[in-house]
């Protein structure tokens, strides 16, 4: 079984999971990347437990990394034994009250304060922000392969920036109303 290294050191939050292939999340920012034994085949890259990101890779029979050419700006390492996950930059801009916002992916442990903060992340539809550190309201959003953000209409009072690479979180709206509850059902999909 080939050993592949997965280097996520360029992502802001570097923890990842390969659902069904790894028993737990790994920190891919360790020097040289996290070593994983993978059979030849296709693998979805994942930073949340709920859903895989919108980018994946292949392990060839020769034990090398491969991926679709459309992901060249998101991934590096084709033809080698190391996958470098680069992602896209997205700015999170909390405005209003001084409550911290906690990104709920990639092993984030420190909330974002009230200043604009640019993060590198892979595209996907299962990203969540939580107001504060304790269980609270959750806002869901998605990121397209070009870094544009999207979210469902239920979140329009608290989020803005749809179609740009900057997600603005209105903390005053969240503080007054307790924020929108996480709706059940389908997740926001990035727009082409």
Q: Do 107 and 42 share a domain, yes or no?
A: no
Residue 73 placed within a domain: yes
- Report the predicted TM-score, pTM, of the whole model to 2 decimal places: 0.86
Q: Which domain holds residue 67?
A: 3-85
Question: Which residues lie below 8 Å from residue 117, measured CB to CB, with a gap of 6+?
Answer: 91, 92, 93
Q: CA–CA separation, 50 vs 103, rounded Å?
A: 14
Provide the CATH number for the domain around residue 132: 2.60.40
CA atoms of 161 and 90, how far apart (whole Å): 11
* Number of structural domains the chain divides into: 2
Residue 83: enclosing H or E segment and its boundaries?
A: strand 82-85
Question: Of 37, 68, 85, which residue constitutes the final position of a domain?
Answer: 85
Pair 54, 9 in one domain: yes
Task: Note the pLDDT of residue 178.
Answer: 52
> What was the pLDDT predicted at 3?
95
Helix H segments across the chain?
171-177
Final residue of a structural domain among 47, 66, 85: 85
Q: What does the pLDDT look like over 143-181, one tens digit per residue?
A: 999 999 999 999 998 899 999 999 999 887 766 655 444
Express each pLDDT in 77-105 by its tens digit: 999 999 999 999 999 999 887 778 889 99
Last residue of a domain, one of 55, 85, 115: 85
Q: Report residue 36 as tokens.
A: 């994983």
């Amino acid at each position: 079984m080939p050993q592949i290294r997965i280097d996520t050191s360029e992502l802001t939050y570097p923890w990842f999971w390969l659902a069904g292939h790894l028993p737990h999340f790994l920190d891919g920012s360790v020097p040289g990347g996290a070593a994983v034994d993978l059979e030849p085949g296709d693998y979805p890259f994942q930073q949340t437990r709920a859903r895989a990101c919108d980018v994946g890779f292949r392990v060839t029979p020769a034990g090398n990394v491969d991926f679709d050419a459309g992901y060249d700006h998101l991934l590096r390492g084709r033809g080698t034994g190391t996958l470098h996950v680069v992602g896209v930059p997205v700015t999170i801009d909390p405005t209003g009250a001084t409550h911290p916002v906690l990104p709920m992916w990639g092993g984030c442990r420190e909330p974002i304060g009230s200043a604009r903060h640019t993060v590198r992340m892979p595209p996907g539809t299962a990203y969540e922000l939580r107001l504060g550190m304790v269980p609270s309201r959750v806002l869901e959003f998605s990121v397209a392969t070009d870094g544009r953000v999207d979210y469902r209409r239920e979140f329009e009072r608290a989020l803005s920036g749809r179609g740009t690479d900057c997600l603005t979180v209105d903390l005053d709206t969240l503080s007054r109303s307790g924020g929108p509850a996480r709706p059940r059902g389908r997740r926001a999909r990035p727009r082409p």
